[in-house]
Amino acid sequence: MAQKMKDDTKSEFILSLDKLHTTDLGIKRIKRNLSLDVDDVVAWCENKIREPSSRIVRKGKNWYIRTADCEITVNAYSYTIITAHPLKNR
């Protein structure tokens, strides 16, 4: 039962990606943290989130999306991309 609820919550997030956005400061922060040279940071993040291997977890007021090379933090209520960080080598 708990797994079903997790899958439903993840599906809810994926279905709401059209709400995904960030602020001007968020764009600068994400570009700086990930050393990105892209024009559309939101589209870049959305593509990362949609990767089949991405893991999406909700903790409190935020979603945490972990991909092969970074972790993206999104506010669960406003769908604002707060930040993104590269994953450290383990």
| pLDDT reported for residue 35 | 96
For 2-33, the pLDDT digits (tens) are 444 455 667 788 889 999 999 999 999 999 99
| pLDDT reported for residue 89 | 67
**Where along the chain do its domains lie?**
2-86
Model pTM above 0.85: yes
Return the residue matching tokens 């939101």. Answer: 42
| pLDDT reported for residue 30 | 98
* Angle, CA 57 vertex, CA 49 and CA 47 arms, to 5°: 0
Query: What is the separation of C-alpha 66 from the centre of its chain, rounded to a whole number of angstroms?
Result: 7
Measured distance CA(64)–CA(76) in Å, rounded: 9
